[in-house]
Chain A
Amino acid sequence: QSVLTQPPSASGTPGQRVTISCSGSSSNIGTNYVYWYQQLPGTAPKLLIYRNNQRPSGVPDRFSGSKSGTSASLAISGLRSEDEADYYCAAWDDSLSSVVFGGGTKLTVL
């Protein structure tokens, strides 16, 4: 199983706001930045959020990230059909000296 814990699935209707959680520990999320990736079907992952809550240029402000303690969240507002994808959280783990990923959350837009 993955070091970071995400719900396997999430869903929402167009226009809704959905959040995806990512739970870790003191050796990863508790002390290091969290990153989020979006993977559309059949494509490579794309950076969505870096350093907890920063958006790369070109990422809509409908996407936002936050962190508190050993957990983090990705929020998507004004949900669109094109947001249907797999979402992964990631962080550095000081104990493992390794990048660790969450297991991924499949977002379905109903």
Chain B
Amino acid sequence: QVQLVQSGAEVKKPGASVKVSCKASGYTFTTYGISWVRQAPGQGLEWMGWISAYNGNTNYAQKLQGRVTMTTDTSTSTAYMELRSLRSDDTAVYYCARSHDGRAPWFDPWGQGTLVTVSS
């Protein structure tokens, strides 16, 4: 079955970077993209961006431009999301999701989520 498995929880200090991985299985990795969505504690969903697993094209949310980088490793069917210059308001659960279209929120399935806590 199609599955996305994410790396474990992280605790980081303000100003540091975090890199979350998302390993895909059960489908041909390069025929879909991967989107990243985060959810702050008790809050709603926020789209962070998308990467094509076919050619590496990316589209980042304007709010995160310059701080986020999304990459893929097709040899291991793994996507990565790196967020730099972390602040306390980056504390959230970060989800990856298989993305059918880089210009539509067609996300299915989702990874289990990775809690990133930013605290001094």
* Chain A residues near B (Cβ < 8 Å): 2, 32-33, 35, 37, 44-47, 50-51, 56, 88, 90-92, 96-104
Partner of B45, one of A88, A91, A98: A88
> For chain A, what secondary structure do more than half of its interface residues adopt (helix, strand, loop), or is it mixed?
strand
Closest chain A residue, CB of each to CB of B60: A98
* Stretch of B24-32, B67-75, B76-84, B99-107 at the chain-chain interface: B99-107
The answer to whether B62 and A96 touch across the interface, beta carbons within 8 angstroms, is yes
Given A44-B95, A45-B95, A99-B35, A90 and B105 touching (CB < 8 A)? Answer: yes
> For chain B, what secondary structure do more than half of its interface residues adopt (helix, strand, loop), or is it mixed?
strand
Q: Is B108 an interface residue (CB 8 A)?
A: yes
Q: Is B59 an interface residue (CB 8 A)?
A: yes
* Chain B residues near A (Cβ < 8 Å): 35, 37, 44-47, 50, 59, 61-62, 95, 103-113
Partner of A45, one of B45, B62, B103, B106: B45
- A–B complex contacts, Cβ < 8 Å, 22 sampled: A33-B104, A44-B95, A44-B112, A44-B113, A45-B37, A45-B95, A45-B107, A47-B106, A47-B107, A50-B106, A50-B108, A91-B105, A92-B104, A92-B105, A98-B61, A99-B35, A99-B47, A99-B50, A99-B104, A101-B44, A102-B44, A103-B44
* A51 to B103 CA separation, bound complex (whole angstroms): 12
Closest chain B residue, CB of each to CB of A32: B104
The answer to whether A35 and B104 touch across the interface, beta carbons within 8 angstroms, is yes
* A35 to B106 CA separation, bound complex (whole angstroms): 7
